[in-house]
Chains A and B, each alone.
Chain A
Amino acid sequence: MLKLEDARIAQGGFEMRAEMTLEIGQKYAVIGPSGAGKSTLLAALCGFLPLVSGRLLSDGVEMTDTPPGARPMTMLFQDNNLFPHLTVTQNVGLGLRPDMKLSAVDLDRVRDALGRVGLADHADKRPAGLSGGQQSRVALARVLVQARPWLLLDEPFAALGPALRNEMLDLVQDLVAETGAGLIMVTHAPEDVRRIADQVIFVGKGRAEAPQPAAALMDNPPPELRAYLG
């Protein structure tokens, strides 16, 4: 369980508030107009932005000031999810050992993860030698080996075409179903929400609303959300 208590998040001149409780195993979509603070909310959850005030709790343990790498979550960014100078294996291996001292057991896990995302034959390539979809799969393989309770997606598939994006979302859905992780994903597309999300967090007017069941909300949106969806 992830809990934001009376949180204030500031970035530059922008400030937003958030108060929410997120259940593990659930899939949350974060939607809202551009600039409303969707990425800011994720950055704060992940520890890239310190909270101005308020607390963040994970299963009752406070982690307001925990550094990003020590939080029970992995995040995929809009871009730069892979190091271009490292091989696929190394990129995935970093999820297990930040100092890259990979044991034989570690390497086996990396190989398994690559097999799981269908990249077993590309282990020694560098990202530049892969397609956009394959690069996303490498990042997901790393998510697999990290096996953290939460997965945060800040639109990592935005640059992919619609078919490929759906493929990736299906893969993500399979992965979180396998690991039992909670998913928090930023999206612009209402169809993504319908495709994958259990709950929706609407971010607007400097405030992140508490999550609401996706289907009901999308069928009967409040005025602010209706204005955004158009």
Chain B
Amino acid sequence: MALRPDAVTRKIGITAAGLTVAVVLAACVGIATRAEVTAGFGPGDWSAIRFTVVQAVLSAFVSVLLGVPLARALARRQFFGHGLLVMFLGVPFILPVIVAVIGLLAVFGRNGWLNAALGAVGLPEVSIYGLHGVVLAHVFFNLPLATRLILQGWQAVPAERFRLAAQLGLTPRAVARTIEWPILRQIVPGAFALIFVICLTSFAVALTLGGGPKSTTIELAIYQTFRYDFDLARAAMLSGVQLVLAGGAAVLALSIMPQVVLGGGLDRVAQRWDARGGLQRLGDMAVIVLGAGFLLLPLGAVVGRGLLGLGQMPGTVWQAAGISLQVAVVSVVVLLLIALPMAGWIAQRRSGGVEAIGLIGLSFSPLMIGTGWFILLNPVVDPISLALPVTALVNALMALPFALRIMVPRLRDTLQQFGRLSESLSMRGWPLWRWVILPRLRPQIGFAAGLTGALSIGDLGVIALFADPDRATLPLQMYRLMGAYRMEAAAGAALLLLTLALAVFWICDKGGRWGAEA
């Protein structure tokens, strides 16, 4: 039943949504004033576009391809540590990219464990840099995402269907065809599209593992043009390309993108009567061990090397950690100020079309927004002095789609359940938020705040563009240490960054749930 829109909430919600759009539009205006379309693309630009698309396709393809057997194995095997492993599948979501890179370098890098093993048996060493390194890192981040999405689909299958399959005595092949194939056909295209879009705007991975003319993404090209050549016209043009490519892909993919369920509940295993054969069992366990190893070894390396490197960290690391925390706090506050009224507005509408505004964060790249704002700000103030506020704002925008996905359903339920009662008591506007919506949404608010804080604290994006030599965030400081080949100190900083990101997430998430009523 339709609720009368709450006038106060609606106005603030529309304002928040309008501000979000304005931030992006302003960036577009900045880009438009400087981009010289007539200059056309140079060979380097074409190469960046090609590389961006190729690595995104490969990353999405490999993630989904490996995600299917891993999800299948997790869906039909119960074992000790199952819940823990599924929980760890959520970690890459809040894992700072540059921390993961340190871990991946420790395992797959020149002096890493893999090359040590290969060398021991006389095989040539593999290099992690270039296309396969970028894809490897993207798969590290997105294989867990793909696995979770597919697992979600698997668990949506009613247990009765597997019972029916068992009664009919269907072979594993027949089960695959009648039950599993339809799920995959439904979910895989969406998962592929989502990962493809995410990888299109990848920056930190390309910055650390790519580079060079052959493996530069558009996002990285914007950064290089900006930092090294300070060619604003070309940076603006590349930003325009990024806008068209990533924005276009996001719009095209919007309809098939799956709902990302971020919470728990994925550790249930339906009782299965098929696939009991020893071979399938072995196969599943092998897939699980490989998947867990791929996920956990780099994380373990971060912890191990980090502990050794903690003593080597210069004081600037601690200073940077303090700055990062401040940026994260501001990001969280900005996010909540935008997301809560927007969620309130969206939840009152019958169609979810407005939610698309929140997807801006997913489809527009941070460096594109950064470049646009730099161009706008440059004549007025020194953009460097605004590096931290802009970083906090952009981080909040990037987290917005996830925050809305987390909050809107719960808000909708709350209004459904208590809207009439609130109305009959004349509770509107602030009292409605204060006494009904905010208390009911506490777990979701905590979760969204935790995600935003963790994403923000680990973000290496706009800050690299605006970088101030004196004030760096922790990820940037870490990147500088890596650039100076101080790998031990960088590893220590990575552990600190990992700890901070997880701690911020944990505190917000727990704080939201603590004492919250069902």
A is bound by B: yes
Which residues from chain A sit less than 8 Å from chain B, CB to CB?
Answer: 11, 43, 46-49, 67-70, 74-75, 77, 80-81, 83-86, 90, 94-95, 98-100, 126, 128
Question: Given A85-B439, A86-B435, are A126 and B425 neighbors across the interface (CB < 8 Å)?
Answer: no
Question: Given A84-B517, A84-B518, A128-B518, are A69 and B424 neighbors across the interface (CB < 8 Å)?
Answer: yes
Flag whether B351 is at the interface (Cβ < 8 A).
no
Complex-state Cα separation, A126 to B425, whole angstroms: 19
Question: Given A49-B1, A83-B436, A128-B518, are A69 and B418 neighbors across the interface (CB < 8 Å)?
Answer: no
Question: Given A67-B4, A95-B425, are A100 and B431 neighbors across the interface (CB < 8 Å)?
Answer: yes
Considering only residues 459-518 of chain B, those with a C-beta below 8 Å from chain A are 516-518
Complex-state Cα separation, A124 to B516, whole angstroms: 16
Flag whether B276 is at the interface (Cβ < 8 A).
no
Question: Given A100-B435, A128-B517, are A81 and B421 neighbors across the interface (CB < 8 Å)?
Answer: yes
Nearest CB of A to B429, in Å: 9
Across the interface, do A11 and B1 meet the contact criterion of CB distance under 8 Å?
yes
Number of contacts between A and B (CB, 8 Å)?
65
Task: Tell me what chain A mostly uses at the interface: helix, strand, loop, or mixed.
Answer: loop
Interfacial chain A residues near B439, Cβ < 8 Å: 83, 85-86
Across the interface, do B423 and A83 meet the contact criterion of CB distance under 8 Å?
no
Flag whether B430 is at the interface (Cβ < 8 A).
yes
Interfacial chain B residues near A70, Cβ < 8 Å: 426
Binary contact readout B411-441 vs A (1 if CB under 8 angstroms, 0 otherwise): 0000001101101111110110011100110
Across the interface, do B423 and A69 meet the contact criterion of CB distance under 8 Å?
yes
Q: Which residue on B lies nearest to A127, using beta carbons?
A: B517
Complex-state Cα separation, A55 to B516, whole angstroms: 44
Across the interface, do B440 and A85 meet the contact criterion of CB distance under 8 Å?
yes
Binary contact readout B435-452 vs A (1 if CB under 8 angstroms, 0 otherwise): 110011000000000000
Across the interface, do A94 and B517 meet the contact criterion of CB distance under 8 Å?
no
Interfacial chain A residues near B518, Cβ < 8 Å: 84, 128
Across the interface, do B425 and A94 meet the contact criterion of CB distance under 8 Å?
yes
Interfacial chain B residues near A47, Cβ < 8 Å: 423
Interfacial chain A residues near B516, Cβ < 8 Å: 85
Interfacial chain B residues near A99, Cβ < 8 Å: 427, 430-431, 434
Nearest CB of B to A15, in Å: 15
Nearest CB of B to A93, in Å: 10
Across the interface, do A80 and B417 meet the contact criterion of CB distance under 8 Å?
yes
Considering only residues 400-417 of chain B, those with a C-beta below 8 Å from chain A are 417
Across the interface, do B426 and A98 meet the contact criterion of CB distance under 8 Å?
yes
Question: Given A49-B1, A94-B435, A100-B435, are A69 and B426 neighbors across the interface (CB < 8 Å)?
Answer: yes
Considering only residues 1-29 of chain B, those with a C-beta below 8 Å from chain A are 1, 4
Complex-state Cα separation, A80 to B414, whole angstroms: 10
Interfacial chain A residues near B440, Cβ < 8 Å: 85
Find A98's partner among B4, B417, B425, B517 (CB 8 Å cutoff): B425
Q: Which residue on B lies nearest to A90, using beta carbons?
A: B435
Nearest CB of A to B501, in Å: 30
Task: Tell me what chain B mostly uses at the interface: helix, strand, loop, or mixed.
Answer: helix
Interfacial chain B residues near A67, Cβ < 8 Å: 4, 423, 426
Across the interface, do B517 and A85 meet the contact criterion of CB distance under 8 Å?
yes
Give me 16 other A-B pairs in contact (C-beta within 8 A), A69-B423, A69-B424, A90-B435 excluded.
A43-B1, A68-B420, A68-B423, A68-B426, A74-B424, A75-B424, A77-B421, A80-B420, A80-B421, A83-B436, A85-B439, A85-B517, A98-B425, A98-B427, A98-B428, A128-B518
Nearest CB of A to B427, in Å: 4
Nearest CB of A to B196, in Å: 40
Complex-state Cα separation, A149 to B164, whole angstroms: 58
Interfacial chain A residues near B430, Cβ < 8 Å: 99
Nearest CB of B to A75, in Å: 6
Nearest CB of A to B434, in Å: 8
Interfacial chain B residues near A74, Cβ < 8 Å: 424
Complex-state Cα separation, A43 to B3, whole angstroms: 12
Interfacial chain A residues near B4, Cβ < 8 Å: 67
Complex-state Cα separation, A126 to B435, whole angstroms: 14
Nearest CB of A to B138, in Å: 42
Nearest CB of A to B106, in Å: 46
Complex-state Cα separation, A40 to B418, whole angstroms: 18
Q: Which residue on B lies nearest to A94, using beta carbons?
A: B425
12 A-B contact pairs sorted by A residue (CB < 8 Å): A11-B1, A43-B1, A46-B424, A47-B423, A68-B423, A68-B424, A80-B421, A81-B421, A85-B439, A85-B517, A94-B427, A99-B431
Which 10 A/B pairs are nearest by Cβ-Cβ distance? A69-B426, A99-B431, A85-B517, A85-B439, A98-B427, A98-B426, A68-B423, A68-B424, A80-B417, A94-B425
Of listed B4, B428, B434, B435, residue having the most chain A CB within 10 A: B435
Nearest CB of B to A11, in Å: 7
Question: Given A48-B1, A86-B435, A126-B517, are A69 and B425 neighbors across the interface (CB < 8 Å)?
Answer: yes
Complex-state Cα separation, A64 to B425, whole angstroms: 18
Across the interface, do B431 and A83 meet the contact criterion of CB distance under 8 Å?
no
Nearest CB of A to B261, in Å: 24
Complex-state Cα separation, A85 to B418, whole angstroms: 12
Interfacial chain B residues near A43, Cβ < 8 Å: 1
Interfacial chain B residues near A90, Cβ < 8 Å: 435
Q: Which residue on B lies nearest to A49, using beta carbons?
A: B1
Complex-state Cα separation, A47 to B435, whole angstroms: 22
Across the interface, do B424 and A83 meet the contact criterion of CB distance under 8 Å?
no
Of listed B424, B428, B431, B516, residue having the most chain A CB within 10 A: B424
Complex-state Cα separation, A70 to B4, whole angstroms: 14
Interfacial chain A residues near B1, Cβ < 8 Å: 11, 43, 48-49
Complex-state Cα separation, A46 to B1, whole angstroms: 14
Complex-state Cα separation, A24 to B360, whole angstroms: 56
Interfacial chain B residues near A126, Cβ < 8 Å: 517
Q: Which residue on A lies nearest to B417, using beta carbons?
A: A80
Complex-state Cα separation, A194 to B439, whole angstroms: 42
Complex-state Cα separation, A11 to B189, whole angstroms: 38
Of listed B425, B435, B518, residue having the most chain A CB within 10 A: B425
Nearest CB of B to A139, in Å: 9
Interfacial chain A residues near B517, Cβ < 8 Å: 84-85, 126, 128
Q: Which residue on B lies nearest to A84, using beta carbons?
A: B517
Q: Which residue on A lies nearest to B429, using beta carbons?
A: A99
Interfacial chain B residues near A81, Cβ < 8 Å: 421
Nearest CB of B to A50, in Å: 9
Complex-state Cα separation, A100 to B438, whole angstroms: 15
Complex-state Cα separation, A3 to B425, whole angstroms: 22
Nearest CB of B to A83, in Å: 6
Across the interface, do A98 and B431 meet the contact criterion of CB distance under 8 Å?
yes
Q: Which residue on A lies nearest to B424, using beta carbons?
A: A68
Across the interface, do B421 and A48 meet the contact criterion of CB distance under 8 Å?
no
Interfacial chain A residues near B423, Cβ < 8 Å: 47-48, 67-69
